[in-house]
Structure 1
Amino acid sequence: MRFFFPDSQDQVDPTFDFETEEHDPFRVRQRDDLYAHEVLTGAPFDGLLVSKAIVDGQAGSSAGKYTVAQRHRLYREGARRFFRLDHGHTPLKIMGDCGAFSYVAEAKPPYTVDEVIDFYDGCGFDYGISVDHVIFQYDPTASLAEAEGRGWAERQRITLELAEAFLDRCATRRVNFSPYGVAQGWSPQSYAEAVNRLQDLGYRHIALGGMVPLKSRDILACLAAIKQELRSDMEMHLLGISRCDDVPSFAAGGVTSFDSTSPFRQAFKDDRDNYYTQSRTYVALRVPQVDGNLKLRARIRSGEISQGMAIALEREALDQLRRYDKDETDVDSVVQALASYSAVWDGKSDRSSQYRETLTDRPWRNCSCDLCQRHGIEIAIFRGSERNKRRGFHNLYVFEQQLRARQARKDPA
């Protein structure tokens, strides 16, 4: 089972100074900042997934996350050089898709088949996914008439028609990437029918879309129906799914690859599960910057608290954390410092017991990843993108280890 990590320009600055919170003044982000596969010994994924919507945006609708200069560089240099896929410890593959989530509210996808092929071939991707239209609703009891009335069947038809045109144009243009056809559905049977249609068209690679909101049992039900139709030489990709405990079951259902940002995003989006270990997750130690926390800035502007006091509490919390990592203070002192600062910037949530667990166990000391070894407790501090993204990279490292361990237990050979 291969794991692809969706790109969203996530890099870290290797020269960032955690004490002064400063970047090298001569830093050039694209040239100097590093991807996860460059900072970790052994890439934490098998490849990257890059969306056209992220790179190019949509004409007249939304801009992508890439600057004009970055976009031009990607097309000029190609994906392997732009993402430095061969500069890490493990050469990586790269997959492209349209980013159907970005236009889910539209009546039809905003991209033509040839525009998408231009993107994949122009960037030199290894795999390219056909243009699709997401069906988010799931109802295994819905009749075809109900699916027609709710617009689900129309979205499936659009997706299959575009998949047919995509494969035809790939053959005519003799593209250098392997095409994936997308199956969208609202039930196990509708997914199975879509997969069967894609196989009849000539696809040997299929991606299953629209499953992100589904519970694992529903995904497995769809895979069971699909497997009855799936030919032995097919490869199947799950779009946006990363439930590590279910990976062996997904693999048994015919899935050969998947992608997700969940392990990375939990580092700074989740309320509790911020730091991964093999046995459990921990809450990160929240010390937001005084000038970067909107709630705290509002309280300072209103005169409710003084800026000087907030800065003093912030510095004390950071000092106690660093002293603790050097065994120069105790857990109670650190928890108290974090609670005192939290009362100023938050005032609602009391995470003291969770902080105590994180501090007592010191999971970063038991982690073999390059980032934990290099940065110590800084990796567990919830504060700014440089720490948060590093913790996200650490999570990817642990997730990849968990994935391989579960696969090994499933197949000892």
Structure 2
Amino acid sequence: MSMKKNNQPRILVITSCTGEKVFKPDEQLGVKDFENRTQLAIEEKKLAQYICSASEMYTGMQHLRLMEGIGLFRKSLGEKSIDVNILSAGYGLIAADRAIAPYEVTFNNMKGHEVDAWSKLLEIHEDFEKAVRDYDLVFLLLGENYLRSLNLPVITRPDQTFIFLASQSSRKWIKGLDAKTYVLGLSNADAKKYSYGLVGLKGFLFKKFAEVVVQQPELLSKLYVKPEEFALLLEPKQENIDQLELTLGVPSVAVKSSKKKGKSAIAEGAEEEEESSEFLPIPDLPPAPNLHLGMKYFIPEWDDHVDPTYNFLTDTLTPDRDPHEDEVYAHEIYPTPNYDAILVSKVVVEASKKKRQKIEEIGIHKFIRFQGEVMGDCGAFGYIKEDVPPYNTIEILDYYEKLGFNYGVSIDHLIVGPFAEVGVREMRYELTLKNAQEFIEQHRLGGYTFTPIGAAQGWSPETYAEAVKQLINMGYDYIALGGLARATSKEIIEILKAIHPHLQSHVRIHLFGVARISAIPVLRHLGVTSFDSASPLRRAWLGSGANYHTLGTKMYSAVRIPPVSRHGVRIKRVIEAGVSDSETLQKLEQNSLQLLREFDKGLRGLEETLNVLLEYDALLELPRDGLVDPALQAKRLDKHREMYADLLIDKPWQHCDCVICKEVGVEVIIFRGNDRNRRRGFHNTFAFYKRFQELLASLQGKDS
């Protein structure tokens, strides 16, 4: 075995470039620039002010977590303990300290043959073979197309060890190596297991590995001999598991078993768990002292409006319409709003210069044409990667006051994902509390008229409880808990239980990003007086199921009939792969729309309609490497047949008395463009709010 003098294996890590870069000027390098070395040098000079090392250029989650792990290695085992190469779709295989200019090229959106041709031009196969030659232990953190670009096999030695962190589907590109080879296949299940998002998971796991190795350097030699033990070193410990968006590591709460996933199960989403007909159990604690303050639903505003005179038969917008002035919000369509209030984040206000100027001119209420209460926050997710928020307290106080918000939230800093690690989380926690203290003090001194809300962040029930306690002592009577949108209901309940002893009768509690009907009774019992969520709205077009909600627990999938003429990503890839042509697809598209409308009128039967819908649907399976997998295609068709049959048999849109279902009829269940999808989202919000109001009424009835 060939080893360094200290008996540690010589280590190389090969990772991929990322689309996120520290600099993104308007004129980045492109494919054409890399085709000609002379031209590349000329264009690089134009970008001289943006050139930096590759290790500094990339800011994607995988790269950031990986480099943190590399830093741990070098700090503990020496600067030369580990080397890093980066597989760039522009520059080829390069050392991490190579100076590069910003560019916009990636293997991820290339077809298989394009990957092969481009990697050959960049000589990636040859450079890779040379790069790994002098190392004992090689780690590869590469996506499928990046692995393909290596064009394995290459010449390796039996006394080398290669460890691949790759997706399950990438295994086919890892072949023919004489080196000992271990593949850690990663999937969504692994992202859940390790409590970290799939994007960036490879870098995160390498950092976890580095944390173990710096404590036990002898493991490197063991891993060199038995690479299959790599996975064992990463096994998450329940008492100290890192966070995806927020994994609090709190004790489990006994919850009544929910229904198995089926036709009515909620689709996968950012902030929702599968709901059950059973409500979550209420802990053995007295009702919160603020129960009399009631409970309100705020909906986040994200320019959710539609063309009121959209022509569904011709799929055309109203000519010469102004997207804001002439389109309407949900609260302008329904007789009464399907929410109690609206939340508007600063990032939404600043979406464009023209929009910001208009809001500053007429105020937030007139801009969204809503006379009810409006809450403003800073949109912490928009600056999550910054060391400190980009705003100061006086600036935000003046902003809330000038725009006419009813409520304004203090400047907070999210403690989630990689920003919930030891050292980072404490800084953000103290910063959030410090900002809250300054916010309420300046609010009093400045005579501002809106109601101040103190933001609370944390990473455990105890830290949230301490934050709430401090905010109450500062004088806040309205407190918002942030960072919980992806937390489970069980985790949120544990946090609220910890906060419960500190609550007072006049103090209101808001939950950011959480709306779960099954949790309403327990949230209310534990002191939550308001919450916000766009989930019912977004579910209309996110996920393959549960796009259309009802007043009960059952939900339906919308029928996918994408427009061919607009050449969306799916249609474009189908045509490019030669699966079908535009003319054939357009004919099937129009047949699907016609049959569905005739079915709605009782002129067509179920099987006939299903067959026509699925004839179009069959061609919409996304090609991989230019080919459609028949097995995946059949699986998709079986799934869609079942979902569509369930929808068409029940015809829920015909039984709904909401304005949208009555006005547009069957168009509401067609997954196709903003003016259908967002209307379906408005309907979902109607269904959610009606259930919410009925539930509150029943709970208040029990109180009395």
The TM-score, its normalising length taken from structure 1, stands at 0.92
2:315 is the counterpart of 1:21:
yes
Query: What secondary structure is seen at the aligned counterpart in 1 of 2:603?
Result: coil
Q: Compute the displacement of 1:115 (Å).
A: 2.0
2:646 is the counterpart of 1:361:
no
Partner of 2:388: 108
Partner of 1:59: none
Select which of 678, 684, 694 maps to 1:395: 684
Select which of 323, 346, 365 maps to 1:52: 346
Partner of 2:518: 245
Counterpart of 1:79, as a letter, is I
Q: Count residues with an aligned counterpart.
A: 391
Query: What secondary structure is seen at the aligned counterpart in 2 of 1:165?
Result: helix
Q: Compute the displacement of 1:244 (Å).
A: 1.3
Q: How does 1:4-403 map to 2 (within 5 A)?
A: 4-56=298-350, 64=351, 67-86=352-371, 92-136=372-416, 149-279=422-552, 280-290=554-564, 291-346=566-621, 348=633, 349-350=636-637, 351-403=640-692
What is the CA deviation profile of residues 8-33 of structure 1, one whole-angstrom value per residue up to 9, with x for unaligned ones? 11101101000011111131222211
Indicate how the Cα distance of structure 1 residues 292 and 386 shifts in structure 2: closer, same or farther if over 3 A, else same: farther
Q: Compute the displacement of 1:137 (Å).
A: 5.5
Q: Compute the displacement of 1:293 (Å).
A: 2.5
CA contact (8 A) 2:579 2:619 kept: no
* Equivalent-residue separation in structure 1 for 2:391 and 2:613 (angstroms): 49
What is the CA deviation profile of residues 215-270 of structure 1, one whole-angstrom value per residue up to 9, with x for unaligned ones? 10110111111010111110110011011110111111111000011000000012
Query: What secondary structure is seen at the aligned counterpart in 1 of 2:443?
Result: helix
Query: Relative to structure 2, which stretch is displaced further, 387-396 or 206-215?
Result: 206-215
Higher helix share: 1
Higher relative contact order (CA 8 A, sep 6+): 1
Unaligned 5+ segments in structure 2 are 1-294, 623-632
* Equivalent-residue separation in structure 1 for 2:581 and 2:417 (angstroms): 50
Query: Relative to structure 2, which stretch is displaced further, 5-14 or 129-138?
Result: 129-138
CA contact (8 A) 2:429 2:458 kept: yes
Counterpart of 1:30, as a letter, is H
Counterpart of 1:224, as a letter, is K
What is the CA deviation profile of residues 19-60 of structure 1, one whole-angstrom value per residue up to 9, with x for unaligned ones? 01111113122221110111112210011100112222xxxx
Counterpart of 1:380, as a letter, is I
> How much is the aligned-residue C-alpha RMSD, in angstroms?
1.5
CA contact (8 A) 1:184 1:194 kept: yes
Q: Percent identity?
A: 37
* Equivalent-residue separation in structure 2 for 1:371 and 1:135 (angstroms): 39
* Equivalent-residue separation in structure 1 for 2:547 and 2:495 (angstroms): 31
What is the CA deviation profile of residues 186-228 of structure 1, one whole-angstrom value per residue up to 9, with x for unaligned ones? 1111111000100111111100011112110110111111010
What is the CA deviation profile of residues 298-346 of structure 1, one whole-angstrom value per residue up to 9, with x for unaligned ones? 3324544221100000000000010011111011111111111111122
Counterpart of 2:355, as a letter, is Q
* Equivalent-residue separation in structure 2 for 1:338 and 1:367 (angstroms): 23
Counterpart of 2:619, as a letter, is V
Unaligned 5+ segments in structure 1 are 57-63, 87-91, 139-146
Counterpart of 2:297, as a letter, is F
Q: Compute the displacement of 1:401 (Å).
A: 0.8
* Equivalent-residue separation in structure 1 for 2:619 and 2:513 (angstroms): 37
Indicate how the Cα distance of structure 1 residues 344 and 148 shifts in structure 2: closer, same or farther if over 3 A, else same: closer
Larger Rg belongs to: 2
The TM-score, its normalising length taken from structure 2, stands at 0.54
